[in-house]
Amino acid sequence: MTRRPFILAAEGVNKEFDGFKAINNLNFYMDEGELRTVIGPNGAGKSTFLDLITGRTKPDNGSIKFFEESELTTLSEYQIYRLGIGRKFQTPTVFLDHTVYENIMLNVEGSRNVWNAIFTSTSKEQRDRIYEVLKIIGLESRAGGKAGNLAHGQKQWLEIGMLLAQNAKLLLVDEPAAGMTDEETHKTGELLLSLAGKHSIIVIEHDMVFVRQIATKVTVLHQGTVLCEGKVDEVQNNEKVIEVYLGRKKAHDK
Amino acid sequence: MRRIFTNFEAWGVLVAAIIAIVVLPYLNAFTPATSILHVSDFSINLYGKYLCYAVLAISVDILWGYTGLLSLGQCLFFSLGGYMMGMYLMRMIGSLGQYQKPIPDFLVFLGWNSLPAFWKPFSSFPFALMMTLLLPGLLSLVFGFLAFRSRIRGVYFSILTQALTYAASILFLRNNLLLGGNNGFTDFKFMLGHDLRLPATQRVLYICTALLLLATYLLCKWLTTTRFGKIQRAIRDSENRVLFSGYSTANFKLFIFVLSGLIASLAGALYVPQVGIINPNEMATDKSIEVVVWVAVGGRGTLVGPVIGAIFVNALRSWATRAYPDLWLIILGFLFIFVVLFMPKGIVGLFAQVRDILKGKAKTSEPPPSSATPDLVTPPKPATSTMPPVKS
């Protein structure tokens, strides 16, 4: 039996910022269709890890492979995007001055070159896809309004919708629940769960209630390296994880 | 509401175009000089100059207002277009110069007896016109490629464009570049066989300028409605998001930078036969900054605004330099500060601004703070407080 390729495989990745080791010999593997949650204390290197995957920063060494064939560390942001990796930023990053419809439209699958942007308009299929995405994220009724007028939670959903429009194989979602109400958080969790399987998703999150809602497998990052991996309960009961979260002092007291 | 405005705009443009292209030249050509409706030759020439500036202002607006690229060197492309046309006009002087030689006077002065090789093809008008597009096009392509590939953004881009035009002005001041040095080109006589000193020739040049302005406006207006236009504004608002949406923003910026350079160059090519002189002073850094002031005064990111701004500020200059010659720069400075402080959307935005004040809604016209600064409302949660202790 042949093994299915990992959708994402990071091996021996290092990244140093002015003497600070943000990522330290990181190894990370993920299967296709998986919904993986990455947690870790502040400064554990979670966002840096996403920066490395998406080409925003380049690692000092190591390799990050997509489907075990594309080496992401040598590609630029838009090339990585075109492979099918989409990213939602920590703070919602949508085009505030554009309408909700236009936000999705700019991300819908299709040509990205200058000439086509000038001389072709949105096709019927693309338009259908845009409305399909708007329906999934529940912003159909806001399609014609400016994205700047959306509530904070809605902006987060819009940004997730932008990733869906591109039909990304791998969604990188950085703190989707930040600044949301409990109800919005819950809805976001349901949205992500409904997308898992069709898409592979990495979620970075702090909110443990939210993590419990969505997580099947959790990776804990600490000081730029993987501390442990497993189910939510296993991870929460792990001695090393508790030590990291509650501080060293307590561990020494024992 | 939106639809009415676009109709209003369309009618406005149509009426302005008819006045500029048909009515003013008609009044100039067919009314007696004594009539109060008569438009003098001097005025037509002056308006032609203003309209060239208006085209230049649009070229800055598509960069600054729509893409967020503040170019402080746009007059370089304007001047290059002017120089290319100027070379043709110099050749058309023939042997009518001071020295009565078949080569331009300044070359005689520098000791040349025959024409330098690179000057020869400029006897042809089509060649000069082609160079008007080719030289600024190539320069903006190379400069833009290097700048955008290196991800030079914001104020660094502005400083580089400023440095580029400064460097070019120093280069063009040199006599051994054989482009007239400090004095540049002047004393033109003919263009396509027509005497440039005749009012009829100047009138045709004025009409050409008005047509160029209309064509430029319509082209840019159309461009803003395409998907390209939406990407352009998206780059202005959040370039990183555009990159992470799979667009190579460098290519988009390069396209608009080259287009803008070509537009500016065409404006320069029409400017020179109307003012009758081109010299390195046109490339001076302050000229390019002044264009930015016109755009800001008129209202950036509107296309109509820069046209209004360019005409308004230059008309003001024509008046002020006669009435208060020493105060012009101070007036210009105050105007800029006033506009930045009190009229952020320029003259074009004034109508909406006044309406809001009358309705007492001056404050609600600003976007709510939550949408303007999304990163301030989502402080990162401290990790330690959200991880419930399971064991102690």
Cα–Cα distance for residue pair B299/B311, rounded to 1 Å: 13
Q: Where are the beta strands (DSSP E) in chain A?
A: 8-17, 20-30, 35-39, 61-66, 70-71, 85-88, 170-174, 200-204, 217-222, 225-230
Asked if the structure places residue B303 within a domain, the reply is: no
Domain hosting residue B245, numbered range: 40-284
A91 touches chain B (CB under 8 A): yes
HSE-up (13 A, CA, CB side) for residue B147: 26
Asked if the structure places residue B353 within a domain, the reply is: no
Summarised one tens digit per residue, pLDDT across range B363-383 is 444 444 443 333 333 333 333
Q: What's the mean pLDDT in B54-70?
A: 97
- Classified by CATH at the fold level, domain A8-253 comes out as Rossmann fold (3.40.50)
What does the DSSP 8-state code read for residue B120? G
Asked if the structure places residue B337 within a domain, the reply is: no
Q: What's the predicted TM-score (pTM) here?
A: 0.87
Closest Cα of chain B to A54: distance in Å?
Answer: 8
Structure confidence at residue B392 (pLDDT): 35
| A229 DSSP β-pair partners | A219
The ipTM of this complex is 0.84
Instruction: Indicate if the pLDDT at residue A238 is higher than 60.
Output: yes
Cα–Cα distance for residue pair B254/B175, rounded to 1 Å: 33
Summarised one tens digit per residue, pLDDT across range B177-227 is 999 999 999 999 999 999 999 999 999 999 999 999 999 999 999 999 999
Which residue from A110, A111, A100, A173 is spatially nearest to A133, judged by alpha carbons? Answer: A100
Asked if the structure places residue B92 within a domain, the reply is: yes
Backbone φ, ψ for residue B194 (5° rounding):
-100, 140
One-letter amino acid of B380: P
Number of domains in chain B: 1
Work out the pLDDT band at A92, boundaries 50, 70, 90: confident
Structure confidence at residue B375 (pLDDT): 37
Q: Which residue of A has its CA nearest to B220?
A: A118
Cα–Cα distance for residue pair B32/B139, rounded to 1 Å: 47
Structure confidence at residue A236 (pLDDT): 83
Structure confidence at residue A251 (pLDDT): 44
A238 touches chain B (CB under 8 A): no
Residue with tokens 């050409």: B208
Structure confidence at residue A254 (pLDDT): 42
Instruction: Indicate if the pLDDT at residue A31 is higher than 60.
Output: yes
Asked if the structure places residue B272 within a domain, the reply is: yes
Summarised one tens digit per residue, pLDDT across range A222-235 is 988 999 898 888 88
Lowest mean pLDDT among A203-212, B59-68, B276-285: A203-212
Does the beta-carbon distance from B243 to A207 stay under 8 Å?
no
Asked if the structure places residue B221 within a domain, the reply is: yes
Closest Cα of chain B to A89: distance in Å?
Answer: 9
One-letter amino acid of B224: T
Which among B228, B370, B386 is the nearest to A114, CB-wise?
A: B228
CB-CB contact of A210 with A189 (8 Å) = yes
Does the beta-carbon distance from A93 to B238 stay under 8 Å?
yes
Residues 7-36 of A with CB under 8 A from B: none
Which among B231, B372, B390 is the nearest to A106, CB-wise?
A: B231
A17-21, A246-250, B144-148, B245-249: range with highest mean pLDDT? B144-148
Asked if the structure places residue B316 within a domain, the reply is: no
Q: What's the mean pLDDT in B123-150?
A: 96
Structure confidence at residue A242 (pLDDT): 84
B384 touches chain A (CB under 8 A): yes
Residues whose CB is less than 8 angstroms from the CB of residue B100 and which lie 6 or more positions away in sequence, other chains included: none
Which among A78, A92, A208 is the nearest to B247, CB-wise?
A: A78
Asked if the structure places residue B279 within a domain, the reply is: yes
